[in-house]
Amino acid sequence: MSTIYDFTVKDQKGNDVSLKEYEGKVILVVNTATGCGFTPQYEGLQKLYDTYKDQGFVILDFPCNQFGHQAPGSDEEIHQFCSLKYNASFPQFKKIDVNGDNADPLYKWLKEQKGGILGSNIKWNFSKFLLNRKGEVINRYAPTTTPEKLEEDVVAELKK
């Protein structure tokens, strides 16, 4: 598999979603959690999404409970929390594993494309991958990298 468009994931209700649906967009993939110290990044993510969605930018949110069990709720509870507390309106998918034997195939591929400080493993919640309009991973960001700090890279990709 060579691009993100080759993958199918589950939406929060368990339905298949082909990522080909996002072809031609600049994509930010984030593994998230509702009870994490980084959870307030949802505010910055939503602002980034609101600012650039009409220019071909999308954020794909994959809740993950692997780090300190910080996303313990059901997919519906997680969605409600994000919608009500942060007005999150970007696509949110079914809770997944991002590391280990049960890691989602999408995340296995993302980690193969760009290693991080822990090699191929995801360090914590709110790790981020930026993909260009061709569906290729161009950058990986640590959980401490706020949405505001990666805005310049998003804008640069949108101009290409």
**Residues recognised as catalytic:** 36
Residues facing residue 130 across a β-bridge: 28, 139
Unique residue bearing structure tokens 């997944």: 96
* 26-32/57-63 β-pairing: parallel
Distances (CA, A) of 41 to 31, 35, 111: 12, 12, 22
Query: Which helix or strand (DSSP H or E) is residue 155 part of?
Result: helix 147-158
DSSP string spanning 39-104?
TTHHHHHHHHHHHHGGGTEEEEEEE--TTTT---S-HHHHHHHHHHHH---S-BB---B-SSTTB-
